[in-house]
Amino acid sequence: MSTAVKPDWRYRVLFTLLAPVLAWHGIAQARRAEDPRMARQKLGKDLPERHDRPVWIHMASVGEVNAAYPLVMELRRRYPALPLIVSTFTPSGAATAQTKLGSDIEHVYLPLDFKRAVHRFFEHIKPRCALIMETEIWPRLFYQCRRNDIPLIIVNGRLSRRSMNKPRWMRAVYRQALQNVDRILARSETDAERFQTLGAAADKIQVIDNIKFAAPALQPPIAPIELPRPYILAASTHDDEELQLSRAWLASDLGQTYLLVIAPRHPKRKAAILQQLRPLTDALAIRSDKDTVTNATQIYLADTFGELQGFIAGAELVCMGGSLIPRGGQNLIEAARLGKVALFGPHMENFADERDLLLQHQAAVQVSDAEALIEKIETLLHQAGQLKAMGARAQQLVGTKADVAQRYAQALESYLVSPRGTAPHTPL
C-alpha cells in the first residue's frame, strides 16, 4: 500500500472554519426533509454496525443514483451474496435510492468531511472497497480510505471544464486527494485527460464509457405520459431557459397543434418560473396543481419529481436543458434510448462525447439559441419520415453501448472479490 496523502492544509483550515455553518445547514436540511437520520449521520452518528465488509457505493444525489442503478443491478446479478451499502448526500438522493434499489440494500447519509465524522463512518461501516460515482471528491474521506487500506475507485469519473478552472489552491487540493485513489474508471477520453491534468497518474485511469448508456436492468418499459395534446418536452431546464423557450414558442404557430411541456431541473423553482411566464400568457397549466390541459393551453409546467422519463417517452421531440445557457447541458442519452430526437443549444460541454456521437450520425440537432431551436422543431415536425429515422438512429447508437454496466463490473472485479482492509486508524 502506498503512503496516504494528507488533505491540503488550506482545505483543513477552511473546513474547520466552516464547520458550524455546515453543521447548521445539515440540521436545517434534515428538518426540511423530515428525516431525523440525516443530521446525525452527517456527523458520523447513528450509523449501522456492519461486520460483513460491504462494498460501499456513494451516489451524491438523484442523478448519480440513476446512473449507478444498472451497475448495482449487475453486481447483484454477478455476486448475489456480495454485501452492499449505499450512501447519498441529499434527501432526494436518499428517497430515490430507497425506491429504486429496494429495502434490502442499506442506505446511509455520507458524513461531512470532518475528521471525527469520517472516522466514525469507517469504524461502523468497515467497507471492503469504496466506489464513488462521478465527481465527488472529499479529501479527508479519500485520505482515510487510503490510510485504512480500503481500495477507492471513482466510477463513471467525469470532470467538467468548470472544475479545471478552479483557483490554483483548489486544484492543489484535488491533486492531493487524487493521490489516494486506487483507480479512476472514466466515462470518456476527455475526462481521463482532465483527471491526468489534475494530477492523477495515467496508469490509474481506464476509460470505460458513460454508464448512462447502460440498458436499464430489470425494469419494465417506460410508460409514456399522455396528455390531451401532442407535446414537445423541454427537459431539465435551468434558470432563464424557461423564459427563452416560452417567448420563442409563443411567437411561433406551434401552439395551434402542440403543447410545450417544461420540466425544470429543480421543480422547487416553480414560483420563480411562474413569475417569469405568467406575464407572457394565461394559457398556462401546472402539473403539481393538477390543472387540466385544454385545447387553449400553450405551456404545461411539469414541476413534479420522478416523471421525466415518462414525459420523454411521450414527447414528439426533446429539448435538452442547460444548453441554452452556459451550464454544460443535461443528459441526452435517455431521450436517444427512447428513440427521441434531442435538440440542444450551444452549451453541451458536460456531454461532449455523447453530443458528438449523435451529431456525427445525424441523430440529434444543435442550434444557436431558443429561436433557432423552435424553428428547427417546426421543420422536423413537417418531416415525419426524417424525424422517425433520426430517432431510430439515436436509439441504435445508444444500443451499441448498452453493455457498459457489465464492462464496469468486469473492471471492478478484483476489488470486489479480494477484500482488503484494517481496523480504522485514529483520524488526523
Q: How many angstroms separate the CA atoms of 3 and 264, rounded? A: 45
Best CA proximity match to 131, nearest among 198, 189, 183, 202: 183
Spell out a b/e string for 195-206, using b for 16 or more CB atoms within 10 Å of the CB, else e. bbebebeeebbe
- How far apart are alpha carbons 87 and 176 in whole angstroms? 23
Is the distance from CB of 376 to CB of 343 less than 8 angstroms?
A: yes
Q: Measured between alpha carbons, how far is residue 193 from residues 132, 186, 328, 402 in Å?
A: 19, 9, 18, 24
The 10 Å Cβ neighbour count of residue 324 is 27
d(CA 19, CA 17): 6
Q: Which residues are catalytic?
A: 64
Q: Which residues pair with 129 in a beta bridge?
A: 55
Give the N- to C-terminal CA distance of the chain in Å, as an integer: 18
- Cβ neighbours of 139 (radius 10 Å): 21
Nearest to 135 by CA among 328, 3, 334, 320: 328
Dist. CA 69–CA 158, nearest whole Å = 17
Cell of 384: 415525419
C-alpha–C-alpha distance, residues 2 and 201, integer Å: 13
